[in-house]
Amino acid sequence: MSAAFRTGIVGQELNEIGEPGEAAWPELPVELRDCAYSPDRTGYDGVKSNYLRVGNPRLVLMAANEDQAGAAVRYAETVRQATGQAPRLSLRSGGHGLNASSVNDGGIVLDVSQLKRLRFEDEAAGLLWVQAGATWGDVAGFLTPHDMVLTSGNFGDTGVGGLSNAGGVGYFVRADGLTIDRLRAVRLIGADGRVRLVDAEADPELFWGVRGGGSQLGLVTDYLFQASRLGTQRGDASVVLQRASYQAADLGGFMAAWGDLMRSAPREFTSFLRVQAIGGGRHVVQATNVWKGDDTERALPVLEAAAGLAPLAGHTAHLLSYPEMVPTPRQAHYGQQQLRMRDGLVDVVDANLGAAVAESLSRPSAVLYEIRFLGGAVADVPSDATAWAGRSQEALAVLWTEPLGEAAQDDAFAPVRALSSGAYGAYASDLRPEFAEFVWPGPTGERLRRLAQRQDPHQLFNQGLRLAR
């Protein structure tokens, strides 16, 4: 393998698929010519990268519609047939994927960011179709005038495509579950380049897999979601946002108290923590707490309890419309994000977790932790109902790290990894097969592997996090 194709920016080797440049690729079909960017075309530099990585693909195909997306997949297959090896094929929606696999070196990037349509299928029932290239800021803006929300993520620029096959841990996770739990159907382009509707009736096994199985089953162009109606007085999707910051002298004690609070909190209440070390064994904890809706009377007791967890360094609480919570700067991408991430689904939120987070943050590459309490509607779903098996763990713990390489990142995360029994594939900068086994453990992994073999026997969809076959 040539050195140029060994350069993986997230510290591990890129998937060793295809040796681009070593064999001639077939001519592009006519229907793809207007959307194809090779390095010699003006505009290539603007489309070759994502948020985490500068890419050097041989071809970027900016699909303007479903037909072009299907033709792009068929073209990748003709390259495979002509060269005897599948080209690297990255799927890109919002370009925010934390494992950076939505661009590559020497292969094809199939970008669907222009597929951005949103439309109600049945407004009264909250059913809406969202295309993969829309961002979560677009979705929040679309739903607000209807007083509806869809649980997603905390940043408006992240794409619907990368998150909606993988999981989705957002501000309404305890009330509404994961984003994949709100999915009712998808339109999926398989390895044959054909589009099919996938739902619980048409193909229950594939519908199981697309909810949490990532991108190894095909390209999703459209998602049918069930949004939830808030019924607020202003009719503008108002929620209560509480921000509290604490100086925690005893992180173990703080974490135990937070765990106790969250276990008994109403499901409308979601709490995300950010924890940073400030020296001398002390930590700053910043909580972003959201009450789903504008029922401040019901919210007040839990808001007060949250404010009383530890001495406060700062505190605000107010009503705002949900889109104001998801900043959507619509930035261009040029590999600007340098930090890398590790995550785990931790079994119990208690003093041991606090001690592990403190230990972890003392290690060289560690920057900060995010801890998101789960439970509620996440735990209502049986672990074999979707390809996201982790339904019993109490929290998602995410470590942001300096990009000092896999070993340093593993070392920093090790204390919390030891308390985890699963992970969220899309909230980590890790493409290694052992991480895939951790994300899709045991029977979930076996079932997903069989399904991927059925859907994509020649491993055309080869650039996201995937199980070794």
Binding site for ligand FAD (CB under 6 A): 50-51, 90-98, 101-102, 112, 132, 153-155, 158-159, 161-163, 165-170, 215, 219-220, 426-427, 463-464
Q: Shortest Cβ distance from residue 132 to ligand FAD (Å)? A: 4
301/327 with CB nearer ligand FAD: 327
239/426 with CB nearer ligand FAD: 426
Q: Shortest Cβ distance from residue 248 to ligand FAD (Å)? A: 23
Q: Shortest Cβ distance from residue 408 to ligand FAD (Å)? A: 20
With CB atoms as reference, the residue minimizing the distance to ligand FAD is 162
55/415 with CB nearer ligand FAD: 55
Please, what's the b/e burial string for 87-125 (b: 16 or more CB within 10 A of its CB; e: otherwise)?
bbbbbbbbbbbbbbbbbbbbbbbbbbbebbebebeeeee
Q: Which residues contact 290 (CB under 8 A, 6 or more apart)?
A: 171, 172, 239, 240, 241, 242, 269, 270, 271, 325
Q: Shortest Cβ distance from residue 401 to ligand FAD (Å)? A: 14
Strands 108-111 and 59-62: parallel
Token pair recorded at residue 133? 């290239």
257/431 with CB nearer ligand FAD: 431
Q: At what angle do helices 406-417 and 351-361 cross, to 10 degrees?
A: 160
Q: Shortest Cβ distance from residue 313 to ligand FAD (Å)? A: 24
Q: Shortest Cβ distance from residue 2 to ligand FAD (Å)? A: 23
162/293 with CB nearer ligand FAD: 162
The dihedral sign for the CA sequence 443, 445, 449, 455? positive
Distance CA 238, CA 333 (A): 31
Q: H helices then E strands: how many in the chain? A: 13, 18
Q: Shortest Cβ distance from residue 152 to ligand FAD (Å)? A: 7
Q: Shortest Cβ distance from residue 467 to ligand FAD (Å)? A: 13
Q: Which residues contact 201 (CB under 8 A, 6 or more apart)?
A: none
DSSP for residue 290: E
186/310 with CB nearer ligand FAD: 186
Q: Which of 355, 433, 437 is nearest to 389 (CA)?
A: 437
112/262 with CB nearer ligand FAD: 112
Q: Which of 283, 409, 282 is nearest to 344 (CA)?
A: 409
46/84 with CB nearer ligand FAD: 46
252/335 with CB nearer ligand FAD: 335
Q: Which of 37, 16, 7, 32 is nearest to 85 (CA)?
A: 16
Q: Shortest Cβ distance from residue 287 to ligand FAD (Å)? A: 15
Distances (CA, A) of 181 to 134, 152, 212, 454: 19, 11, 9, 24
Distance CA 147, CA 199 (A): 26
Place of tokens 């070794």: 468
